[in-house]
């Protein structure tokens, strides 16, 4: 069965510093991978996705992620954190088992210090 593990429930960085949010997945078939962001009292908004092709994908707000099949990872990065990046981030895997199903990780809350 597919699953998603996000390492670190909380990550704190200084403004301008590198952001690295970790995600590992398990899937019996080639997965589609997603990162979503959730601001307080809001639904989830897609940051970026990997389906096929180039393993380094770029998303909105300067975020990017790299699919590494050998490591079953899909870590999210941003070179320079901004105060507005403070939010909850969710990694998700979408696979097909009798129907397309999207499973989410537990989330990582990003804090950005001035």
> Which tokens hold the place of 28?
């019996």
What gap in Å lies between CA 100 and CA 113, rounded to an integer?
39
Number of residues near other proteins (by CB under 8 A):
29
**Using CB under 8 A, which of 16, 102, 111, 113 touches other proteins?**
102
Residues between 44 and 83 that touch other proteins (CB under 8 A): 44-46, 49, 51-52
| DSSP code at position 17 | S
Q: Is 86 in the site for other proteins (CB under 8 A)?
A: no
Stretch of 18-26, 61-69, 71-79, 95-103 lying at the interface with other proteins (CB under 8 A): 95-103
Q: Beta-carbon neighbour count of residue 80 at 10 Å?
A: 12
């Amino acid at each position: 069965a597919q699953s998603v593990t996000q390492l670190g429930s909380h990550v704190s960085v200084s403004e301008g510093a590198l952001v690295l949010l970790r995600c590992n997945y398990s899937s019996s078939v080639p997965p589609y991978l997603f990162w979503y962001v959730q601001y307080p009292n809001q639904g989830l908004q897609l940051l970026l996705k990997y389906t096929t092709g180039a393993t380094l994908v770029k998303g909105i707000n300067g975020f990017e992620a790299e699919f590494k099949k050998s490591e079953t990872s899909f870590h999210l990065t941003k070179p320079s954190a901004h105060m507005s990046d403070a939010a909850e981030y969710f990694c998700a895997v979408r696979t097909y088992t009798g129907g397309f199903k999207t499973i989410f990780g537990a989330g990582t809350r990003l804090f950005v210090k001035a």
